[in-house]
Structure formats: C-alpha cells, structure tokens
C-alpha cells in the first residue's frame, strides 16, 4: 500500500498563501492556490490602497521566482510561464527535491486572493474543484474585474460531494466564512484520514455548518486536523474573547440606517454576497434606495445569474440597484440604470451607497453639492481599509461624517479552534494560516509544526507530534 504524504508550499508561519499538497501513489491534490498577503507582491485586488502588484503579463513568473507559489511546472499554463527556467525557480526553494506525481488536481476552498490568486495561471489541463457558490462568485469577480479568468477546467461540486482520486477520496464540505461558497475538505487515504477546514468562523450566520463539519470528522475518526489560526496571537491573553455575531452586526447596521439623516456610505467586501444581500434588504426595508459601485454591481449580478444557492428566495434579489455613473468603465457591462453624483447629492438621505475605497474622492462632491449638508454616516464592515485609515479619517473629519466599524471577522476565535480540536479529537493537529501557531490551545492533542517546503508522511506526523 502506498503511503500518503504532505508537502507544505504555503500557509506556514504566515497569514494566507495556503498551498498544501497531499499525495498518495501517483495522484495528488493541492489545496489551496493563494499568495500570502505580506509577500513580496500582493495579488490583483481592487479593495486595497496602492498595493505592490506583479507586473502586468509577468505575474506568474514573478510569483514563481519570488518563492510565492509551488515550484511544480505541471500546475501552470505554459503561456504565462514565458519559457521560464524552472531551475532558477527551484533555487529560491533551496533546490529541494519535491515529490513527483503523475496527476495533480486542485481544490480551492474560497475566493479570497490569499487562497485563489494563482488560479488564473493554472494549467488548462488541470481539473480545479470548488464548491458551487464559490464558482458563482468567481464568475462574478471575473466579470467585475476583481480577478482574471482561468483556462483551467473548473469542476463545480455540490456540498458533501466526494471526488475519487483512485488512491484516495476527497469530500467537499461547506463551511462558514466571509466569502460566499467557502468549503473545507475531508481526505480519506484508506490508511489515514485528514480534515482541512480552510478559513472558518463560528460567529457567522451559519455556525451549524461548523458543527456539521465537526460531526463528520468525528464519524470518520479523523487522524490529522489541519485548521487555520489567523487570530492567534503571540500572547493568547491579548486576544479579546467577545465576538459580535452576524445577527448582532446586522441589527446594529439596521439601527444606523434607521437613524441616519444623510447619505450612508457602506464599505464592505463584495465577496461576502450574503451579507451584501442582507444589507441591501435592510436598506430597502428602512426606506432607502441602493446605489452601488459598478464593479460591485457586476459581481452581484453575474454571481446571481450563475445561480447562487445561498440566496435562493432572498428578498434582495428583487431590489432595484442604481449604479454610480462615475464608477462605470468601458470594460464593465453594467446591468442596471445609472445615477450621477449630482443626483445623489440632492437627496442624500434617500440612499445607501455600496462604495469602494478608491472612490473616496466622491465624498467631495456628495458632501458639498445639494441643499442638505451634514448628517452622513460611513460604515466599514469587514473591509480591508478600516475607518481609522489615514485617508478615510481625513475625509470623515473634513465633512463631519460619523464613522462606524461593524465587523466580526471571517476567522475563528482561538477558543472556537480549541473547541473544534477537542470535539473532533484527532490524533494530531496542524495550525496553518497563522504567525503564532504555537500559541493555540490544542486541549491535549499533539501538534505538528511543518516547515515551508517540507515533505512528510502522514504516518510520520502522527508518530512525531508533541503537545
């Protein structure tokens, strides 16, 4: 019988950039396919302020030469490699000899760039597995200009579906995170079972999914649990234990919309389409109209065209969205009517503006034109640019806008991770997606701390772990 093994290309000692290869015999699966946020380059994303991005047309070469993605040539589209010398790529990995597999497939757990940034450069011959709603969101992101498309063969999977690799199986399990369609996996290699959570949280709207994942792991008697640990700190006592739930967050949002007198600027991630839907419905219920940045509107429209299952029957599907004309570009096929900044300024208290940070200058016109001055509110809701960002704070102060932070994060609290570990009771646990994995309370379960570039058998992990 062949032995299952893991190779850790990313997610070790860092936030995001998870790339772990599980292989057995001649078959393997890589999960996920992202780039870590604080690496040399940040993947294309429109929600951050002037990130240092890769050079257009040379992205994959720079990700590979910078040691930011797995140095396995079969993963990538040759058109993006541009005859790159892989010997020089391997040099950035210390010329380590990595395992070779006849077939490698990909699993992408969700659509945040630190988990899927390399997808546009994947080999067209490689199957890429993802949850149904993650695929719908990805199609929206491509249409809205938030990601490049991929030539790879996307295999859209239902919740709890099982993929048979011959030597092992992989079950896809929906989780809860602040990106629509997030899923983890359970790998059954016959000799050992491995569960990978992906990014998850217990404080979200679907905590029952986490409980179900735990019960599935218990039933399958998981040997090795691989979990994220984003919120772990060097000093565990420094982590706040209180955590706002999604229900509480939406209730506070509803109160702000109800009481505000001026325009409401809402800055949130368009990859959390369920929160977007809930906030749209609340805005309409409170008598406000929804106006939206063009790229956000395109993501919303295209993702729903693809049949988002999580939003079936949601009242937000019937909301008429107005698109701010100043955000429309030639590259975007906008699906709705437009509205000008001048029109919005005339009746500021009529609108909730689903807004993105690069359009901060819109406030100059929206807050000075029209007869009604003052009374506007700015809500930051788990967006990458916070209310206290220097530029945001300057605008809020200049125009007397009240700022609010409505956030509960997409990641599990350390206590929730400890509870999951205890309930699943694996033989060993690995914490990825964290700079402080050793601070995790494992409730007496042995922990293993892999090194970047390390290949190790699952059996060796189970035999060599320490509490």
**Residue-wise pLDDT tens digits, 84-108:** 999 999 999 999 999 999 999 999 9
pLDDT at residue number 47: 46
pLDDT at 456 over 50: yes
Percent residues over pLDDT 90 in the chain:
84
- What's the mean pLDDT when you consider all of the chain? 93
**Residue-wise pLDDT tens digits, 310-351:** 999 999 999 999 999 999 998 888 888 999 999 999 999 999
Of 271-285, 326-340, 443-457, the poorest mean pLDDT is in 326-340
Q: In which band, very low, low, confident or very high, does the pLDDT at 55 lie, cut at 50, 70 and 90?
A: confident
pLDDT mean over 375-380: 95
**Which helix (H) or strand (E) element contains residue 127?**
strand 127-131
**Residue-wise pLDDT tens digits, 229-264:** 999 998 877 766 667 999 999 999 999 999 999 999
pLDDT at 51 over 90: no
pLDDT at residue number 180: 97
pLDDT mean over 348-360: 93
CA distance 453 to 67: 10
Nearest of 291, 284, 286, 280 to residue 256 by alpha carbon: 286
pLDDT at residue number 41: 55
* 3-class DSSP assignment, residue 288: coil
pLDDT mean over 14-23: 93
E strands in 347-454: 351-354, 377-381, 402-405, 428-432, 446-447
Q: In which band, very low, low, confident or very high, does the pLDDT at 38 lie, cut at 50, 70 and 90?
A: low
Q: Are strands 455-457 and 5-10 parallel, antiparallel or unpaired?
A: antiparallel
pLDDT at residue number 7: 98
CA distance 100 to 28: 9
pLDDT at residue number 333: 84
Residue 331, C-beta contacts closer than 8 angstroms, at least 6 positions apart: 145
Helix axis angle, 273-285 to 294-305, nearest 10°: 110
Q: In which band, very low, low, confident or very high, does the pLDDT at 44 lie, cut at 50, 70 and 90?
A: very low
Structural domains of the chain, with CATH: 5-236+411-464 (3.60.15.10), 246-405 (3.40.50.10710)
pLDDT at 187 over 50: yes
**Residue-wise pLDDT tens digits, 133-155:** 999 999 999 999 999 999 999 99
pLDDT at 126 over 80: yes
């Amino acid at each position: 019988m062949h032995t299952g093994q893991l190779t850790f290309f990313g997610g070790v000692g860092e936030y995001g950039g998870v790339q772990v290869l599980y292989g057995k015999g001649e078959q393997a699966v890589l999960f996920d396919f992202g780039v870590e946020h604080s690496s040399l380059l940040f993947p294309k994303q429109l929600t951050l302020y002037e990130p240092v991005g890769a050079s257009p047309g040379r992205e994959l070469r720079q990700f590979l030469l910078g040691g930011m993605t797995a140095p396995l040539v079969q993963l990538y589209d040759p058109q993006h490699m541009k005859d790159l010398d892989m010997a020089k790529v391997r040099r950035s990995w210390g010329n380590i000899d990595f395992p070779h597999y006849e077939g490698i497939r990909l699993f992408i757990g969700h659509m945040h760039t630190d988990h899927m940034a390399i997808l546009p450069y994947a080999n067209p011959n490689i199957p890429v597995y993802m949850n149904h709603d993650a695929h719908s969101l990805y199609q929206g992101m491509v249409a809205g200009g938030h990601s490049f498309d991929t030539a790879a063969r996307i295999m859209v999977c239902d919740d709890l579906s099982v993929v048979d690799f011959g030597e092992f199986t992989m079950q896809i399990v929906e989780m809860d995170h602040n990106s629509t369609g997030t899923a983890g996996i359970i790998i059954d290699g016959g000799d050992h079972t491995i569960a990978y959570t992906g990014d998850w949280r217990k404080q979200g709207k679907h905590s029952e999914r986490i409980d179900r994942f735990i019960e599935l792991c218990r039933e399958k008697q998981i040997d090795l649990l691989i979990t994220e640990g984003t919120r772990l700190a060097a000093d565990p006592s420094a982590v706040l234990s209180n955590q706002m739930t999604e229900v509480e967050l939406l209730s506070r949002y509803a109160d702000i919309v109800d009481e505000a007198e001026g325009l409401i600027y809402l800055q949130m991630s368009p990859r959390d389409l369920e929160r977007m839907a809930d906030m749209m419905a609340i805005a309409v219920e409170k008598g406000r109209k929804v106006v939206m940045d063009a790229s956000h509107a395109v993501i919303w429209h295209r993702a729903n065209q693809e049949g988002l299952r999580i939003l079936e029957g949601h009242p937000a599907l019937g909301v008429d969205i107005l698109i701010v004309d100043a955000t429309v570009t030639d590259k975007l096929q906008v699906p709705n009517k437009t509205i000008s900044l001048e029109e919005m300024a005339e009746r500021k208290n009529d609108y909730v503006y689903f807004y993105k940070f690069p359009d901060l200058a819109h406030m100059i016109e929206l807050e000075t034109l029209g007869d009604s001055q003052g009374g506007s509110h700015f809500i930051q809701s788990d967006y990458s640019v916070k209310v206290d960002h220097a530029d945001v704070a300057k605008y809020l102060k200049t125009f007397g806008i009240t700022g609010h932070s409505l956030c509960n994060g997409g990641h599990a609290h350390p206590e929730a991770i400890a509870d999951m570990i205890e309930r699943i009771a694996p033989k060993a646990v690995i914490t990825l997606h964290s700079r402080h994995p050793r601070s995790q309370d494992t409730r007496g379960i042995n922990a293993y701390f892999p090194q970047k570039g390390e290949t190790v058998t699952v059996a060796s992990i189970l035999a060599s772990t320490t509490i």
